[in-house]
Amino acid sequence: MDFSLNVKQELKLILTQSMKTSLNILEMSSFDLERYILKESKKNPFVEVQYTSNYKKDRRADETSPLDFVHKEKNLIDFLEEQIGYIHLNSEQKFLYTFIVNNLDSRGYLILNEKEIKSLTKFSIKEIKEALKDIKKFEPIGIGASNLEECLIIQLHQKNIKDIKLEYIIKNLLKEIAKGKLKEVGEKLELSEEEVKEKIKIIRTLNPIPSRGFYMGDAIRYIIPEAEIKNIEGRYMVIMNKENISKIKVNDDLKVDNKKMNGYFTSASNLIKCIEKRTETLKNILEVILEKQYHYFSEGESKKKLSIKMVAKELNIHESTVSRAIKNKYIKTEDGVERIRDLFILDEKKEKINTIIQNIILKEDGAKPISDQDITDILNNMGIKIARRTVAKYRENLGIKSISKRKVGKI
């Protein structure tokens, strides 16, 4: 009886751990999964990573190719990674810094915000802020900025130019300057047109594209699409990206001759099954999305209403499984790389509220921005019953800053 009870308890523990691993792997991005596989291969002797042979190893030793003599030009990422090497960092910090510089766009701007970096790498916001602070000191100056305004301000500070009115122009009035509205800018800042022109001269000395002069063609991106929506013989299909995750197999050379080795063997076998299940689940979800949004991919039409609940019902799986499977994952389309989550459309009420909040904030006075409570009152007066806390969540999801951060400072 004791033996039977122990077996049942042990089996229950194994199943629970197996399910937990499966759920964790389902939620991982390709990048996180690759790190996880490498980590497991170091601690579990049964996990054997199978790397694809590179081009040169597949050729005979006496063969040559014109590609062997091509000079590989140093790109911006190489240059930035060299600078990372000059800083005293531990391996974890170095990974974070490298991740950040590999997610710059062709201009040298950072394409991810702090929350997205946190979600993709699991580092804290404090650690990310410290890394960004260092990277923004790298050459070329202005690198790592989130937008044009920040890029120019970084360069001003590097030149030790401390001019509040000039910074205000950069942050708030570049469009007016571009339209030649110098008189209006001068009146707003109590400056003469000549003084405004002097400030414009300084702005023109700044570089709006930090990457200019560097080769960006071979820049690596750690955001790797899980799959591609591809037109094959006139029909769009989901093609999974099999190259973004290392293939693994159970090491057959080892013997399962004790309890510890048996545990390693079970863990390795389970890992392979979980990865296969992740791929299968994600592919099924993407095929439903493609079916429901076919004309969006094929004709460029507007996306149709599609919820996580609808996809879950179609596949007869739990909604949380769909949410986990699409979290932090991307797909390649003819228009570029998109977040899978963005292929879903919220219900009409949520979309309506998002639009209203956006329009209210777009029309606000920069000196007196509208509060979440004010927005709540407006919505309630329109017959949309909603709490202030919920309005704050909608605003944050739209990427709109809080009232204190939207307020234009006094000159």
pLDDT value for 135? 95
Give the span between the Cα atoms of 269 and 17, in whole angstroms: 13
Q: Where are the domains of the chain?
A: 76-218, 348-406
**b/e code 188-208 from CB counts within 10 Å (16+ = b):** bbebeeeebeebeebbeebeb
Q: How does the average pLDDT of the chain come out, rounded?
A: 81
Among 85-99, 260-274, 359-373, which stretch is predicted with the lowest mean pLDDT?
359-373
Report whether pLDDT(7) > 70.
Answer: no
Average of pLDDT values for 14-27? Answer: 76
Average of pLDDT values for 240-266? Answer: 85
pLDDT value for 217? 52
CA distances from 33 to 255, 326, 371 (A): 27, 14, 41
Please report which confidence band the pLDDT of residue 57 belongs to, taking 50, 70 and 90 as the band edges: very low
Average of pLDDT values for 90-100? Answer: 86
Give the span between the Cα atoms of 257 and 254, in whole angstroms: 9
Token look-up 């777009």 returns 362
Among 63-77, 189-203, 236-250, which stretch is predicted with the lowest mean pLDDT?
63-77
pLDDT value for 39? 86
Largest CA distance in the chain: 95
8 Å CB contact between 175 and 193? no
Please list the residues that pair with 331 across neighbouring strands. 227, 338
Percent of the residues in the chain that have a pLDDT greater than 90, as a whole number = 25
Q: Pairing between strand 336-339 and 227-232?
A: unpaired
Report whether pLDDT(85) > 60.
Answer: yes
Q: For residue 142, count other CB atoms closer than 10 A to its CB.
A: 27
Range among 21-35, 272-286, 368-382, 391-405 rated most confident: 272-286
Rg, C-alpha atoms of the chain: 27
Average of pLDDT values for 227-232? Answer: 92
Structure tokens at 256: 């399962």
Please report which confidence band the pLDDT of residue 52 belongs to, taking 50, 70 and 90 as the band edges: very low
Report whether pLDDT(129) > 60.
Answer: yes
Residues 6+ apart with CB under 8 A from 244: 30, 34, 224, 225, 226
Cis peptide before 45 (omega within 30 of 0): no
Between 17 and 93, residue with greater pLDDT? 93
Report whether pLDDT(363) > 50.
Answer: yes
Residues 6+ apart with CB under 8 A from 289: 306, 311, 340, 343, 344
Kindly report, residue by residue over 313-334, the tens digit of the pLDDT. Answer: 999 998 888 988 998 788 888 8
Report whether pLDDT(248) > 80.
Answer: yes
Report whether pLDDT(3) > 60.
Answer: no
In the chain, DSSP finds a helix count (H) and a strand count (E) of 19, 6
Query: Is 348-406 a domain of CATH 1.10.10.60?
Result: yes
Average of pLDDT values for 164-185? Answer: 88
Report whether pLDDT(273) > 70.
Answer: yes
Percent of the residues in the chain that have a pLDDT greater than 70, as a whole number = 85
Please list the residues that pair with 50 across neighbouring strands. 247
Between 31 and 79, residue with greater pLDDT? 79
pTM for this entry: 0.48
